[in-house]
Structure 1
Amino acid sequence: MNIFLGSSSSRKAEDDVLKIAMLIEKEGHHPFPWNKEGLFPLGNYTSESLRNICKQMDAAILIFHEDDLIWYRNSYVLKPRDNVIYEYGLFEGHLGPKRTIICRRGKPRIPSDLEGITYCDLDKEYQARVELIEWVRFLSPIDKI
């Protein structure tokens, strides 16, 4: 199975992508981190490339970090990069909610429409590892929408 991994370009997020990619490979599947060579060809629009990537993937993991400091309701909060939230919506719309998951590091503020989703808490490393392995094993190429 092909599994897309999306995150910001922060060092911490890229470290999480690497750890998750190694876990996916160990389970016998193919990770496609957002920064993998060739995923975003020169001359293409990013949104066009993302739509093409969606068609090639069986599942997606989007990593939400505390990347951007914003002013929200009379205080500063940290939130994931806008592109990572957009990519979650794009993959979830294409692959469905069971094949598109959120991993969170820290307590980033996310859009209220996403607050009810059960996510993988990367701050709890052992639990996160167990949950991700269970999720990957639960997936089957036959179930693809």
Structure 2
Amino acid sequence: MNIFIGSSNSSESLKALRQIALIIEEEGHVPIPWNKPGLFPLGNYVLDSLRDISLKVDAAVLIFNEDDRSWYRNDSVLQPRDNVVLEYGLFVSQLGREKTIICRRGNTKVPSDLNGIIYCDLNKEFKAQSVLVEWLQFLKARKIN
């Protein structure tokens, strides 16, 4: 299976992206990180490229990291980069919820519509790895393509 991995460009997010890519590879699948050369060709519109990618991959992992500080109800909160949240919605609409997952690092504020989603907690590294492996095995067993 080809699995897209989306994140921000922050060093913490890219570190998580590499760790997730290694787990995907170890399970015999092909990680497709957003920063893979050639994935976003020059002259293309980013959203069109993302839609094309969503049609070619079997699953997607989006990393929600504490990237941006914003104000919410008179308090400062950390939230994932807006484009990563948008990409989650795009991949869910194309692939479905069971093939598109969120991995969260830190205590990120997420949009209220996403509050009920069960996510992979990257703060607990060992558990995160086992949860990701379990998800990959589930996809393989269901032969989701």
Normalised TM-score (structure 1): 0.97
The AA in structure 2 aligned to 1:143 is: I
The AA in structure 1 aligned to 2:144 is: D
| SS of 2:97 mapped into structure 1 | coil
% identical aligned pairs: 58
For residues 12-31 of structure 1, what are the structure 2 equivalents within 5 Å? 12-31=12-31
- 1:76: which partner in 2? 76
Following superposition, the deviation at residue 13 of structure 1 comes to 0.4
Number of matched residues? Answer: 144
Q: Deviations over 1:113-142 (max 9, x none)?
A: 000000000000000000000001110374
Alignment of 1:36 onto 2:36: yes
CA separation in 1, counterparts of 2:24 and 2:104? 17
RMSD (CA atoms): 0.9
Alignment of 1:137 onto 2:137: yes
Following superposition, the deviation at residue 143 of structure 1 comes to 2.7
CA separation in 1, counterparts of 2:143 and 2:48? 26
- 1:53: which partner in 2? 53
Following superposition, the deviation at residue 18 of structure 1 comes to 0.3
Q: Which runs of 4+ in 1 moved over 6 A?
A: none
CA separation in 2, counterparts of 1:120 and 1:26? 18
Following superposition, the deviation at residue 107 of structure 1 comes to 0.7
| SS of 2:28 mapped into structure 1 | coil
Following superposition, the deviation at residue 109 of structure 1 comes to 0.4
The AA in structure 2 aligned to 1:6 is: G
Q: Deviations over 1:3-32 (max 9, x none)?
A: 000000000100000011011011110000
Q: Deviations over 1:60-111 (max 9, x none)?
A: 0000001000011011101000000000000001000000000000011000
Alignment of 1:66 onto 2:90: no
| SS of 1:102 mapped into structure 2 | strand
The AA in structure 2 aligned to 1:74 is: N
| SS of 2:8 mapped into structure 1 | coil
Asked if the contact 2:64–2:102 (Cα under 8 Å) also holds between the matched residues in 1, the reply is yes
Asked if the contact 2:7–2:62 (Cα under 8 Å) also holds between the matched residues in 1, the reply is yes
CA separation in 2, counterparts of 1:143 and 1:120? 20
| SS of 1:93 mapped into structure 2 | helix
- Structure 1 gaps of 5+ residues are none
Asked if the contact 2:58–2:144 (Cα under 8 Å) also holds between the matched residues in 1, the reply is no
The AA in structure 1 aligned to 2:81 is: R
